[in-house]
Amino acid sequence: MRELKIGILQQHNVADTKTNTERLAEGIAGLAHRGAELIVLQELHNSLYFCQTENVENFDLAEPIPGPSTDFYGNLARELGVVIIASLFEKRAPGLYHNTAVVIEKDGSIAGRYRKMHIPDDPAYYEKFYFTPGDLGFHPVDTSVGRLGVLVCWDQWYPEAARLMALQGAEILVYPTAIGYESSDTDEEKQRQREAWTTVMRGHAVANGLPVVAVNRVGYEPDPSGQTGGIRFWGSSFVAGPQGELLFRACDKDEEHTVVPVDLDHSEQVRRWWPFLRDRRIDEYGAMIKRFID
């Protein structure tokens, strides 16, 4: 069995970025000391989720890659001997910004990056105002702990993204995330949304015969404009095996720091039982590249 110990940091953020990064550093160190080899952080973890409003001053939160945050998390990775998946607000050039996941190797170097491809634009999730859609495509990142198919949040609803990562040899799918409850929804609707979020990614695990890791924010963050009731991020970070089985699921209210062992070799056996890649009708899928088929 080729076991990978995955560290999950489900954290509540505050307005002060220094406090957030210091707490993240403590959490990373704690997980490393508990044996984690790969540590996954939530989406845009250095700050509050600033996309609740459209405010040009928020662009001051962006930074280049490489830059201060990759140096900070790179030093932690090197000191602790772990691979870290960080999620940053990338300033590529003046007026050009991305929502970017960075994979940092055990020696502190940048193993690769992924720029979020699917960008939402919903009430309280005004990401199109801030982020240019990614232009690096869907490509796994090779690391010392395996080939990682890293995607970001809204990407998790798209089976095409997961499939393209799997077709290029990804051994695990990883989703840093920021998603939560809208205050005016009923309790029943809130739970339907949370379960749909979990279910669609478990489906990606099954369809591709790969483990899936999703790490979400948790806790309440107010709307600075006061126009909505803010977002209560629903946590529920989880790890699923290649048959969609839940190996771990965090609660929806509290912070959790957890190490979850995953058997990467099990995917081979599952794909022998369920050879979905063998039976794909690639000769008939050409219409998939159309927006809609009239």
What amino acid positions are annotated as catalytic residues? 43, 116, 153
Q: How many CB atoms lie within 10 A of CB 198?
A: 20
CB atoms within 10 A of CB 66: 12
Alpha-carbon separation of residue 154 from 86, 177, 200 (angstroms): 16, 8, 12
DSSP string over 79-121: HHT-EEEEEEEEEEETTEEEEEEEEE-TTS-EEEEEE------
Cis peptide before 66 (omega within 30 of 0): yes
- Cα–Cα distance measured from residue 188 to residue 113, given in angstroms and rounded to the nearest whole number: 37
The answer to whether 217 touches 177, Cβ cutoff 8 Å, is yes
Q: In whole angstroms, what is the distance from residue 40 CA to residue 289 CA?
A: 32
Is residue 284 helix, strand or coil?
Answer: helix
Enclosing H/E stretch for 27: helix 17-33
HSE-up of residue 230 (Cα within 13 Å, Cβ side): 13
d(CA 236, CA 246): 11
Q: How far apart are CA 181 and CA 189, in angstroms?
A: 9
Q: How far does Cα 1 stand from its chain's mean position?
A: 26
Beta-carbon neighbour count of residue 250 at 10 Å?
Answer: 22
Tokens of 124: 């309280």
